[in-house]
Structures are given as structure tokens and as C-alpha cells.
Amino acid sequence: MCGIVGMVGENLKVEDLVVSLQKLEYRGYDSAGIAFLGDEFEVFKKKGPIDILKNGLKEKGSKGFLVGIAHTRWATHGEPNDVNAHPHTDCRNEIAVVHNGIVENFREIKEYLISKGHKFSSETDTEVIVHLIEEEFEGDLLQAVMKAVRKLRGAYAIAVMHRKVKDLIVAARRGSPLVLGVGNGVGLLASDVTPLLRYTRNVVFLEDGDVAVVKKDGYEIYDMDGNKCERKVYYIDWDEKAAEKGGHKHFMYKEILEDPQALVNALVGRVKGDRVVLEELEPVEDLLKGIKRIKVVSCGTSYYAALVFKYFVENFTDIDVDVDVSSEFRYKRPHVRENDVLVAISQSGETADTLESVRLAKRHGAKIVSVVNVVGSTLDRESNVSIYMNAGPEIGVAATKTYVAELGVLYLLGLKIIELNGVWNEETKTVLDRLVRMPELLENVLRKDPQIRELSEKYKDYNHFMYIGRNYGYPTALEGALKLKEISYIHAAAYQAGELKHGPIALLDPNFPVFAVIPDDSLFFKTKNNVIEARSRNAKVIALGTEGNKSLYEIADDVIFVPPTHESLYPLMMAPVIQLFAYHIADMKGLDPDKPRNLAKSVTVE
């Protein structure tokens, strides 16, 4: 995944283009580059994070421009270095292209272009695009791009400019997101909405196959056959400040502190009295009544949220909830029938595997209910029904507040499904009541930050961790282990506590601590026995349990308490603890938790 921005206007400043690019740094940060056309046509690229590019540009002195494109890269083809950084230029150094995605047939195209005399300088797949456009160029950049992209296989979002064309950028997408900013005297495009918020709240999401001409006073969109088309303008009500650090050292920390607010935003307006009101669900309500099974697809953290949903709905109803990781589902025999309901969970709404799973299920007649944070994202547009998380922009690569928002929405969705299927009793009312009170309790959990920090200090030098939990505690264990490994690079495995003795317990020794998710729930004594087993192998134990349960001190070296709640809601209550523990360890190790190595915020390629 990479980040693209483009601007067209008058007296634009290179600094502004770079500031916009920095809003996309979470999408890739191994090299960055810029091409702009003012008095001269200039291309400047640097290995490393955008700051290096920025400093290099500063040394060259401030510049104004009319047309500019910029890129932050997450390498797939060719190592991160100055040459492989985007933009790439053609043989005459007249056309510049930035690209997000993977050109699958780049080898064939490259051979063809070499036979035509084109000279390549990088190892990237992207470079074929610019030479292909050069090959097709007969004075009209739009036509040349259209002809070129028809020859590409794979995924792309591109922005293209020409040294002799001073008033436009041509953009195109298939499989990778691209958004245009609408109406304020500057032509704008970007990989997502965050860089656009400084200029406008009105945006257009390009669809697969679209080619757009972006000018300072407007835009035109064409389909692959060259027909002009209209696309819906979305209003984005995100606050630009929400995409800034607000004085915190890292976005991740700031976003963890926003957990309670993210939950408020996910719940607000969706609970009336002792009932859940999800008007968005209306088109599929009839299908959900009496439903026998629900399919769910998602990846990473969203998958762990899906597991919580499964435990929740299955504990209260006879409905089977089949949860699959999207990258598996998309290649399976899908077992989807006409009018099945498939829930797709994705904060970005752009995860390639989840989108393909959704398309597969739709081909088999399923109706798609998405739980998504980004309004207008591909998943949002391709779903029958979308329930927005309303978490606001999340910049840190690790999902934190969006996990909390996902859980919030999934509990509401679960409760609605439970109610539609004839189960509405004192217990479900209690769950809803506790859910609504949860944001306040999450503030209490966040106040434990100094204690969690101390614990992180104590445990930061271990090379392995085992997270365990049962029932609702298991997804928390999985998510805790994922957070730790993805930002601190410490090996962490997660198991159902009952699985320990089937193999993993062999790993335990004094150098392999166990992080036990052990709330006061109906399986507390079962989990307690597993913790005792682990301790008897001399493993250090951190217990994450319920306030007031002093017995945890007898079985654990360290204890973190969260307030009591309904047992189904502990995944929410415990989320800030597992997030902060991982965050502090990464920070103490001198790592940047906002930009973990080898990762990118949304995985738009397979």
C-alpha cells in the first residue's frame, strides 16, 4: 500500500503538497517523492520517511507550482531506494506517474516496451505504466492514460502529469482507492480523505475502471470506454484536527486515549430506551428474522472483533455464526446461498481480501452488511447495508480506537439480531445497559496507564509471550498478541486457555511469560486452573482480571484489574489495557509504533 496526493491550481506551494503527503505516511514510509510543474518540471525522490524528502526540498528553497503529484511508498517490487521511489518518469522526462497497487503483467509489458526502445531505470512494476503512457501519447494525456490502463492487469491507483500540460492531472483507479476533493479552486486527489480535509469536506470516490481529469476548477470522470460518468459527492464530517497528534508523542497513544470517545460515537443515536435502533439494517431485517446462520469475513484485528460477535450471537441464539479470515474465504467453496447474510468488517473498507470475499458472496446471492469506518470506501459502496463505526480517522497503523468502535457496532448489531430472533430478556437489556455505560468505565481503565507503563517496563525485555483466554477472553488474547507483535516485534502467540496442555505448554519456562485474560466470568475457575498449570512451569504470569478479585494475586506475578461488567463485554473493557501494554513496550524499545516495519494501514493488495 502506498499514498498518493495530487494538486492543480495557481501559486500552490510545494510545502503544502508535502504536508498533504504526510497525512498518508501511515500508508507507506520507506521512500517518498514529488513531481511538480512551475517554472520548471522537477522530480525529487528520497529513500526513507517523508521528513527526509521534506528536508531535501527545504535545502532546494521554497517553490511554487501549478501541477504536482507526490507519493509515499511501501515497497513491493524493488527495494526501497531513491531510484525505485515514485514518481517514475518516461524516457523523455516529460511524464511523471505515481502508483499504488501491483501491475501483475508488468514483465510482459516491460519486454514489449524494451523491444520498442524504452529504457528502464528502476526495478519497479510502476515504471511500465509511465512508459506505456509515453508509448500511447499523441498529444492528449487523457487518451494516452486510458489506452495504457486498458493494458494493465492487477491493481492500480495512479496520478499522471505531463511537463507540457499545465492545468491538469489525469488519475485512474482499479482495485486501489483514489478520492477527489471537490470545489474550492484547487484540484485535489489523494489515496484517502485525510489530506483533503484541509481544503474541502466534499469528496468523490473513484470507482474501479474510472479515469478522471482533475483541474483547478473541477473534474471529469470517464469509464473505461471513454463515456463520461457522474459519481456521488460524499460529505465527510471528520474533523481535520482528529488526524493530528494533538501534542502526543504518537498517533497510536492519542488514538488509544480516544477509545471511550470512539465508543460513544459508535453508539450515539443507536440506542433508544432499552432497545437498539439501527435504521441502516431495515433493508435486510426481514432476512435476519428467523435466520439460521450468518457468515462473517474480515482480517487482522477486524477478524478478532468478528470472533467476539460470533461468541455473542451464538451465546444468545441458535444462529450459527461462521467467521472466516477473508484471505481464506475468497478461495474456498463459499457455502453461500441466495439471501444469506454476510457481515464484512473492515475499518478501512479497502482491504483487498475482504472486498473479494464480499464480491464472491454477492455472486452467490448473499446480501452484504458491512461494518466500516470510512464512509464512501469501496466496501461501503459495494454493500447492501453499511453500519458506520464513526470512529474518525485512525492514523496509527495498529488498529486501536477502530477496534473499540467495531466492537461497539458489533454488539449493537448482535443485539438487534438477537431481538429480531425473538430473544429479548432481562439479560440482553442488562448487556445493552452496560454497553451504554461502558465509555465512562473505559475512562477509568485508561487511568491505569501509569500501572500498565510500569508493567511494560518490567516485561519489555522478554522475547516471547503467550496470551491465553477462554470464550470472550480468547479474541482478547488474540488481539493482545497481535498488538504486541506488530509494533514491538516480540513474538507473541495466543491460545484458548484450554489448549495449553495440548502442546503449547511445552514452550513455557521462566523466559516465556503468560498474559492471562481472566475476568470474573462463567469460566473463571477453568481459566484459573490453566493459569496455575502455566505457573507450575515457572512461567511469569500477568493476569488481566476483574476488580476486587484478590485470588488473582495468588496465581499471578502481576495483576491488572478492570471494572466489572457483563461477561460478554470484557473484550471492550480490556481493549485499552492490551493496547497500552503493547504501545509502551514498543515505545520503550525505541520503536515507532505508528509505523511498524513491513506493515501498512490498509492492505489494498492481496
Which one of residues 348, 378, 386, 488 is an interface residue with ligand M6R (CB under 6 A)?
Answer: 348
Name the strand (E) or helix (H) holding 56: helix 50-60
Instruction: Report, in Å, the least distance between residue 440 CB and ligand M6R.
Output: 25
Residue 476 contacts ligand M6R per CB under 6 A = no
Distances, alpha carbon 5 to alpha carbons 179, 181, 214, 392, in Å: 9, 11, 12, 20
Residue among 346 and 565 whose Cβ is closer to ligand M6R? 346
Residue among 326 and 456 whose Cβ is closer to ligand M6R? 326
Name the strand (E) or helix (H) holding 524: helix 524-535
Residue among 199 and 253 whose Cβ is closer to ligand M6R? 253
Residue 346 contacts ligand M6R per CB under 6 A = yes
Residue 383 contacts ligand M6R per CB under 6 A = no
Cell of 481: 498478541
Number of residues lying near ligand M6R (CB under 6 A) = 16
**Could you tell me which residues come within 8 angstroms of residue 579 by beta carbon, excluding any fewer than 6 positions away?**
252, 256, 259, 398, 400, 403, 483
> Residue written as cell 473513484?
206
Q: Between residue 540 and residue 599, which ones bind ligand M6R under the rule CB under 6 A?
A: 599
Query: Is the dihedral angle over the CA atoms 322, 316, 568, 430 positive or is it negative?
Result: positive
Residue among 21 and 252 whose Cβ is closer to ligand M6R? 252
Rounded to 10°, the helix 426-446/401-420 angle is: 170
Q: Between residue 399 and residue 428, which ones bind ligand M6R under the rule CB under 6 A?
A: 399
Catalytic residue check, 229: no
**Which of 2, 23, 47, 299 is labelled catalytic?**
2
Instruction: Report, in Å, the least distance between residue 390 CB and ligand M6R.
Output: 15
Q: How would DSSP label each residue in 376-417? A: T-HHHHHSSEEEE-------SSS-SHHHHHHHHHHHHHHHHH
Is there a contact between 570 and 472 (Cβ–Cβ < 8 Å)?
yes
Catalytic residue check, 299: no
Residue among 124 and 351 whose Cβ is closer to ligand M6R? 351
Task: State which amino acid sits at residue 230.
Answer: E
Instruction: Report, in Å, the least distance between residue 301 CB and ligand M6R.
Output: 3
Residue among 380 and 567 whose Cβ is closer to ligand M6R? 380
Instruction: Report, in Å, the least distance between residue 412 CB and ligand M6R.
Output: 18
Residue among 210 and 486 whose Cβ is closer to ligand M6R? 486
How many C-alpha atoms does 67 have within 13 Å on its Cβ side?
23
Which one of residues 126, 351, 378, 428 is an interface residue with ligand M6R (CB under 6 A)?
Answer: 351
How far apart are the C-alpha atoms of 472 and 42, rounded to whole Å? 56
Residue among 34 and 398 whose Cβ is closer to ligand M6R? 398
Instruction: Report, in Å, the least distance between residue 109 CB and ligand M6R.
Output: 29
Which one of residues 327, 378, 602, 604 is an interface residue with ligand M6R (CB under 6 A)?
Answer: 602
**Which of 46, 63, 254, 601 is labelled catalytic?**
601
Task: State which amino acid sits at residue 412.
Answer: L
Instruction: Report, in Å, the least distance between residue 389 CB and ligand M6R.
Output: 10
Residue 357 contacts ligand M6R per CB under 6 A = no
**Could you tell me which residues come within 8 angstroms of residue 279 by beta carbon, excluding any fewer than 6 positions away?**
none
How far apart are the C-alpha atoms of 227 and 207, rounded to whole Å? 14
Binding span for ligand M6R by CB under 6 A among 206-214, 331-339, 340-348, 531-539:
340-348
List the x/- string, 244-283, binding to ligand M6R by CB under 6 A: ----------------------------------------
Instruction: Report, in Å, the least distance between residue 345 CB and ligand M6R.
Output: 7
**Could you tell me which residues come within 8 angstroms of residue 229 by beta carbon, excluding any fewer than 6 positions away?**
210, 221, 222, 223
Binding span for ligand M6R by CB under 6 A among 73-81, 193-201, 299-307, 461-469:
299-307
> Residue written as cell 516485561?
459
Residue 327 contacts ligand M6R per CB under 6 A = no
Distances, alpha carbon 533 to alpha carbons 491, 509, 525, in Å: 21, 12, 12
Residue 300 contacts ligand M6R per CB under 6 A = yes
Which neighbouring-strand residues pair with 180? 189, 204
Is there a contact between 352 and 377 (Cβ–Cβ < 8 Å)?
no
Instruction: Report, in Å, the least distance between residue 403 CB and ligand M6R.
Output: 8
Contact footprint for ligand M6R (CB under 6 A):
299-302, 346-348, 351, 354, 397-399, 486, 599, 602-603
Q: What residues act catalytically?
A: 2, 601
